[in-house]
Amino acid sequence: MTEPTYWARTETRVSRRGLLRGSAVGAMGLAGAALIGCSSGAKDATPAGTAISGTPTAIASNQTAKKGGTLRIAGQATGDFPSLDYDRTNGSAMGSVSNLAGVKLTQWDERPDSPGPVENVIPDLAESWETPDQGITWNFKLKKGVKTSDGLEVKASDVVWSFDRQTQIRQPLGLLQGNLPPLYTGKKSNATAIDDYTLQVKLNKPDADFLALMGSHWWSVEHKDVITKKGTDLGKTAAGWGDIVGVDQIRGGGPYYPSEYIPASGFKMKRNPNFYDSNLAYLDGIDHPFILDPAAASAALVAGQLDAHGPLTQFTVQQGIELQKSPNLQVDWQPCMVWNPWEFDHTREPFNDVRVRRALALAVDRPGWIKNLLQGRGRNGVMVLPWLTYWAMDPAKMGDDGKYFTGFDQAEAKKLLLAAGKEKFTYTLQNSNIGAYTVTYPFADLMASQLAQVGITQKQVIIDYAAHLTKWAPEVDGGVREGFIVRPDIQSYAFAQVGMGSPLSAGKEIWGALTKNDKEYQDFRVIAEKQAVTLDRNARKELINDMQKRMARNVWDFYWPAPDSPVVSNKKVHNFRPPPGWNWNIMKYVWKDA
């Protein structure tokens, strides 16, 4: 047995076995991109240098799964699609469609009996792969007969075309290029179609997350003929690459395809009759109306007008507890999808002094917030989205290193402020008016009242989202802003860590002082780069644990407790536990009773 996939899961979370008792699910429920569910033994993934073969199929415990029916779901798409072309937009709404309509080289292991995608990357379009030189060259053997709903076969040349298309129509970088730069030289991928069913990829340097990224939401294999022949032309944005202007151009060999999209209303999907695994994709279709108000979605679930509600437009803890009372509904508690830390401005006083940062962390009662405000359904952490890797360390088990993320000691906070010569000061907390950022408003108000007890005055400024991403509020005496972290869907969390260069954050300047002056942070960056290319899992785990301890004792960011997310479905629905991430491939394992 290795360590649990997420600490203390069984202490407050409803067991997936309990939720699904009486259904045909096996020993463990589905683990998705967030490693949902009970503590469990974790298997080591196959080493990166070995070939893996085999086709993932429905497991034996699903033999009673029923084919047919339409799942009515809301909450995965959060509004109208900014573009039907996923290469142009990183919106979660379009990602819900793209990840079902397309295939990728690999896929996260979201089967019902799986330990989770971080533990296992399994075949999708590729049936096997190997690297002869420890992560520089990757040779993929592709499945034959992977077809779109139109009957067009997906081949190696389509993979190369899909890699390259992103960089041609999106500036300055395509989604995959921005997250996997070693794959690209300029605007061309370092990928070659040796023949129809053999693909070779040469990276500029090893990337420990390469196989996981080949199954991530950042991309999908698109079929050139579908896009360019069905489109209005070969592409006004980038000649020859096509413009996706209608849902009939979104066909990539995945388990479902979009059949209808009505702005401000919703979208519909149908099963791909040519999907390469005839045992999967039980549903005939998926209807997704846009219901953006969680209260309205809650009422629709209780009334039987919805079968399920996904996690992106999430219910509050209180709504989830109330929905548990309905005799027809089942609630699966999962870690929060988004965890946005508050970033300290390290370029100015007082937050360039670690004693001040530690004092602020100790002065607020995060354990009390979890117990009372979140009714016991919440988590503290020292890293971004810790449930994505079983390497996540519980800060309560870090000893002195972790006390600044779990402790509440206002007397110690006052001593630290006195030692730093900052018995009293004022700072500004900058927040945004959109989406997940608003979750922190209650915490900010509580924080202000508790900081006042140790002599710190906090002013909160809520500004427009776009401005929040690019600048600090023009206040004196330093400040704190809420950050947004990218790359939340891969084996390692480290690329999403402090100062690693989020394009959604004005972080380069505020981390510049640490890069130049903080020896601990300089060492942290060295370790971060090393773990990024370390393919051996045990060695990588030790490096990442070291990083977490350094983060905890230096309090480079302040983490507010993240509430658990209630994911709700009718009891007639089986295997619906979508991860609070962006890969929606678990839908091919979902079925519903008549």
In angstroms, the Cα distances linking 563 to 109, 261, 307, 339 are: 25, 32, 24, 9
* CATH 3.10.105.10 is held by the domain 342-563: yes
The full set of domain ranges for the chain reads 9-335+565-592, 342-563
CA–CA separation, 572 vs 288, rounded Å? 18
Burial of 169 (0-12, 13-18, 19+ CB in 10 A): middle
CA-based nearest residue to 214, from 122, 152, 94: 122
Tokens matching residue 395: 């800060």
Beta strands in 389-496 (DSSP E): 425-432, 456-463, 479-482
CA–CA separation, 170 vs 100, rounded Å? 22
Tokens matching residue 178: 């921005």
What is the reported pLDDT for 159? 97
What is the reported pLDDT for 43? 34
Q: Which letter does DSSP use for residue 126 in this model? A: E
CA–CA separation, 471 vs 367, rounded Å? 31
Phi, psi values for residue 552, rounded to 5°: -65, -45
The 10s digit of each residue's pLDDT in 340-396 is 678 888 888 899 999 999 999 999 999 999 999 899 998 887 765 444 455 677 788
Residues 324/89, Cβ–Cβ less than 8 Å: no
Q: Which helix (H) or strand (E) covers residue 177, if one does?
A: helix 175-179
Please give the order of strands across the beta sheet that includes 557-558: 456-463, 425-432, 479-482, 342-344, 557-558
Residues 103/154, Cβ–Cβ less than 8 Å: yes
Neighbouring CB atoms inside 10 A of 470's CB total: 9
Burial of 29 (0-12, 13-18, 19+ CB in 10 A): buried
- The b/e string for 199-231 (b: 16+ C-beta within 10 A; e otherwise) is bebebeebbbbbbbbbbbbbbbbbbbebbbebb
Beta strands in 198-244 (DSSP E): 198-202
Fold observed for domain 9-335+565-592: D-Maltodextrin-Binding Protein; domain 2 (3.40.190)
Per-residue pLDDT tens, the chain, 594 aa: give them.
333 322 232 222 222 222 222 222 222 222 222 222 222 223 333 344 444 445 555 444 566 889 999 999 998 776 788 888 888 876 666 877 888 999 999 988 777 777 655 557 889 999 999 999 999 999 999 999 999 999 999 999 999 999 999 899 887 788 888 878 899 998 899 999 999 999 999 999 998 889 888 988 778 999 988 888 765 566 777 788 888 888 999 999 999 999 999 998 999 999 999 999 999 999 999 999 999 888 999 999 999 999 999 777 778 889 999 999 999 999 988 776 556 678 888 888 899 999 999 999 999 999 999 999 899 998 887 765 444 455 677 788 888 888 998 899 999 999 999 999 999 999 988 887 765 567 677 888 889 999 999 999 998 888 877 776 666 665 545 678 766 443 333 333 333 333 344 333 445 566 777 888 889 988 988 888 888 888 888 888 888 888 888 888 999 888 888 788 888 999 999 988 776 555 678 899 999 997
Phi, psi values for residue 459, rounded to 5°: -110, 130
- The b/e string for 381-401 (b: 16+ C-beta within 10 A; e otherwise) is bbbbbbbbbbbbbbbeebeeb
- The b/e string for 30-55 (b: 16+ C-beta within 10 A; e otherwise) is bbbbbbbbbbbebeebeebeeebeee
- The b/e string for 94-118 (b: 16+ C-beta within 10 A; e otherwise) is bbbbbbbbbbbbbbbbbbbbbbbbb
Tokens matching residue 498: 């402090």
Pairing of strands 425-432, 479-482: parallel
Whose tokens are 């061309």? That residue is 188
Whose tokens are 């819900």? That residue is 96
Let me know if the fold of 9-335+565-592 is the same as that of 342-563: no
Neighbouring CB atoms inside 10 A of 136's CB total: 16
- Rg of the chain over Cα atoms, rounded to whole angstroms, equals 24
At 92 the three-state DSSP class reads helix
Phi, psi values for residue 340, rounded to 5°: -100, 110
CA-based nearest residue to 194, from 224, 155, 136: 155
